[in-house]
Structure 1
Amino acid sequence: MSSSRVLVAGVGMIPFAKPGASEPYDAMAAKATRLALSDCALDYGRVQQAYAGYVYGDSTSGQKALYQIGMTGIPIINVNNNCSTGSTALFLARQAVASGAVDCVLALGFEQMKPGALEMQFGDRPSPFADFEALADQLVGMNEIPLALRYFGGAGLSHMRKYGTPLSAFAAVRAKASRHAARNPLAVFRNEVSTEEVLASPVLWPGVMTRLMACPPTCGAAAAILVSPEFARRHDLDCKVEIAAQAMTTDGESTFEAGDMMQLVGFDLSRRAARQVYEAAGIGPEDLDVVELHDCFAHNELVSYEALDLCGDGEAGKMIADGDNSYGGRYVTNPSGGLLSKGHPLGATGLAQCYELTHQLRGTADRRQVPGARLGLQHNLGLGGACVVTLYQAV
């Protein structure tokens, strides 16, 4: 990690939408980019590099989107890292500024998704999930259900068996997400649901998951402009948020050797990334005010509380029961509504989290505002695997 300072100058995000209800990917991406540039009153001609993240799209889709903003000849790097794609683009953009290579970089994420569960696109070559599939077959079977549902449902089942966590705890996470999303005009699902309604929704895996515990396929785009302090001074930019620390991790031996579905979906790589960030920033998790974490399923939000050290191992159920994951509790997790209610357009998710935390630390989150928020943590996870954890602070 570099100690060089990196500021968030501008952020932009469009409302997320269901598949078939959105504009094409390039139009969404261009709109989010224009919003980020407008947010800091900066001309695109000042941007020196761009990192464009997406999962489902042909190569150089980033160029297709950004050429609408301006054909300035800058490097445009296309990024694909599954569900952590957007935060990987952010990670690369931050590194470019922190290293001193450039002073102003765009990180962009977008996705135009199809209805239904995620699936592999290339069946004529080795799958990057082959090892994950083999272990999931051993640990939980259930290969008749979609890949992601089996992995994260299996992680929740592991937590239930280890710690006696009730199914209602996962339902309460989803209900909390809906209450938060009701305050977010950019969320795709804004209707509030109760814990009981979540439990009563159609069963996807008996005793483990109902439909409302899974995030929906979504289309959308989000963007961020990162700059050096010198660039901000030269161009009179009012930057109120800084990236205080950031770490990216990939799978270690425990992912497969632990024989645990929680490890298979990234518990250890999330914990390693978070602890690297805490150490680099000289803080502890108790210092955080607001957290945007990767709740692709309610099960992963609960497991991530422990992976990020927001509570001790086995204590996530109590944290939820005590209300320590929402307003008035120890932390506000996913004030945006998270992936469960805001939506999860894969390439855009990491930048949407950046958008939310930037507004929280600026004090401009409107009805979602966490009072006095000064430190915000972002956790974005992609199976296969990669995890990016980013700490933002108000300056």
Structure 2
Amino acid sequence: MSRDVFVTGVGMIPFAKPGAHEPYPQMAAKATAIALADAGIGYDQIQQAYVGYVYGDSTAGQRSLYEVGLTGIPIVNVNNNCSTGSTALFLARQAVASGAVDCVLALGFEHMNPGALGAQFPDRPSPFDRFDQATEELVGHGEIPLALRYFGGAGLAHMNQYGTQLSTFAKIRAKASRHAANNPVALFRTPVTEEQVLAAPVMWPGVMTRLMACPPTCGAAAAIVCSEAFAARHGLDRSVRIKAQAMTTDSPATFEGRDMREIVGFSMARAAAQQVYAEAGVGPEDIDVVELHDCFAHNELLSYEALGLCPVGGAEKFVCDGDNTYGGKVVTNPSGGLLSKGHPLGATGLAQCTELVQQLRGTADKRQVKDARLALQHNLGLGGACVVTLYERV
């Protein structure tokens, strides 16, 4: 049994730099309140909740939602690295689609520390040990933080194979800033030029500058999904439906490919996208707007190819032709993406959901993609998991 699932309420708070934000329970409660108000229902109508975060103690999801209400519902805590928010949404959608419940909350938040990400439990095997070993063998540069080595190394592999220029990654970052200028909840709203991106402090000579990496941020976002019968019974918005969704994890190609693009999830993302297209009966050429996982400008470029938005090896032309923005083939990251909006790990997937629902409702103001009907979301977590979701305007 599989029922249609509608996103009837979304909400997020502006993301902030570490130290410039409220504690996580307050951030999460505010995002939930916005989503409930957007849906037009009370918390007492939520039957289950899936709450995602990466850096926090067990049952932080309960601690957050107890700020909203004590209704005794099942609350499931979710951690899937950077794809945590979309994993919470994946579970919420499954619960409704299966017929188990009619109305579910997916919530994500993150209360991060400044600086590069690091291990929280150094006294036991790291879930990234195989990724770290492969990265050391393929790119070395042990003096560079691992996240930069992962995605910078993947970008370098593309540069080496296809002659991709550093300036192409700078163009992606500049595009993100132009989009973010119209987003009132983006962290960085000042446009930057390609030249300014290239002139930023160098993090890896010839491979990456600081502006090509997303900032660590704190924040929260939420979505409410429900069945068609529930929405009709309560007079809720049914304009946005989850048409298809897939989650994938790593395959042998991740390590056997001996390619940094595989280490950062290229095949994992491509498999999820292909499953979604097949389930929905559409192709990448049918997509109007995309929110994809641009933790680094390099990963945005790789994701164009993984999602089928352009041919493999054709991402540089895709960027230089302007096919990734307004007036091109498909608008990517109209929100400004992680590069400009920020990346609080547990909240990111639900912030992407919020943007795309607004786009399909036609309420995205100056960011609005004209006549948007199909919207694709891509949220990647190393270690690994990838969630791809296709939303449809009904």
Letter in 2 for 1:161: N
Give the counterpart letter for 1:371 in structure 2: K
Match of 1:392 in 2: 391
Return the alpha-carbon distance in structure 2 between the equivalents of residues 17 and 257 of structure 1: 39
The TM-score with structure 2 as length reference comes to 0.99
User: Which residue does the alignment assign to 1:125?
Assistant: 124
Residue aligning to 1:187? 186
Give a deviation string over 1:259-294, Cα, whole Å, max 9, x none.
000000000000000000000000000000000000
Tell me the residue number matched to 1:308. Answer: 307
Aligned residue for 1:238? Answer: 237
Q: Residue 224 in 1 paired to residue 223 in 2?
A: yes
Q: Distance in 2 between matches of 1:266 and 1:195?
A: 27
Partner of 2:378: 379
Give CA deviations for 1:308-361 in whole Å, capped at 9, x if unaligned: 000001000000000000000000000000000000000000000000000000
Residue identity matched to 2:391: Y
The residue identity in structure 2 corresponding to 1:56 is Y
Match of 1:110 in 2: 109
Structure 1 distance, partners of 2:69, 2:23, is 18
What is the identity, as a one-letter code, of the residue corresponding to 2:103? C
For 1:127 and 1:114, the matched residues in 2 are separated by 20
1:226-278: CA deviations, max 9, x gaps? 00000001111122100000000000000000000000000000000000000
3-state DSSP class of the match of 1:207? coil
Equivalent position of 1:167 in the other structure:
166
Q: CA deviation at 1:3?
A: 4.3
Q: Give the aligned residue type for 2:265.
A: G
Equivalent residue, structure 1, for 2:31: 32
Partner secondary structure for residue 326 of structure 1: coil
Structure 1 counterpart of 2:49, which letter?
A: A
Match of 1:213 in 2: 212
Which whole-Å CA distance do the structure 2 matches of 1:118 and 1:233 have between them?
44
Show CA shifts across 1:160-211 (max 9, x none).
Answer: 0010000000000000000000000000011100001000000000000000
User: Stretches of 4+ moved more than 2 A in 1?
Assistant: none
Residues of 2 paired with 1:339 and 1:4: CA distance?
Answer: 32
2:158 and 2:164 in contact (8 A); partners too: yes
State the TM-score, normalizing by the size of structure 1: 0.99
Cα distance in 2 for partners of 1:160, 1:104 equals 46
**SS in structure 2 opposite 1:160?**
helix
Provide the rounded CA distance (Å) in 1 between the counterparts of 2:15 and 2:370: 26
Q: Secondary structure at the match of 1:317?
A: helix
Q: Which amino acid aligns with 1:325?
A: N
| Shift of residue 126, structure 1, vs aligned partner | 0.1
Conservation of the 8 A alpha-carbon contact between 2:293 and 2:378: yes
Percent identity over the alignment? 73
**Residues of 2 paired with 1:255 and 1:363: CA distance?**
39
Cα distance in 1 for residues equivalent to 2:139 and 2:236: 52
Aligned counterparts of 2:39 and 2:80: Cα–Cα separation in 1:
28
Amino acid at match of 2:294: D
Q: How many residues align?
A: 394
Query: Contact 2:2 / 2:99 at 8 angstroms: preserved in 1?
Result: no
1:331 — aligned with what? 330
Query: 2 CA distance for matches of 1:30 and 1:321?
Result: 42
Structure 2 CA distance, aligned partners of 1:59 and 1:44? 22
Aligned residue for 2:149?
150
CA distance in 1, matches of 2:146, 2:180: 26
User: The residue matched to 1:148 in structure 2 has which SS?
Assistant: helix
In 2: Cα distance, 1:387 partner to 1:67 partner: 29
Distance 2:118 2:204 in 1: 18
Q: Distance in 1 between matches of 2:21 and 2:144?
A: 27
Deviation at 1:118, TM superposition (A): 0.8
Whether the 8 Å contact between 2:2 and 2:98 is mirrored in structure 1 is: no
Cα offsets for 1:135-167 (capped at 9, x unmatched): 101100011111111100000000000100000
> RMSD of the alignment, in Å?
0.6
1:360 aligns with 2:378: no
Q: What residue in structure 1 maps to residue 67 of structure 2?
A: 68
Paired residue for 1:322? 321
What runs of 5+ residues in structure 2 fail to find an aligned partner?
A: none
Secondary structure, in 3 states, of the residue corresponding to 2:177?
helix
Find the aligned partners of 2:83 and 2:199 in 1 and give their Cα distance.
Answer: 31
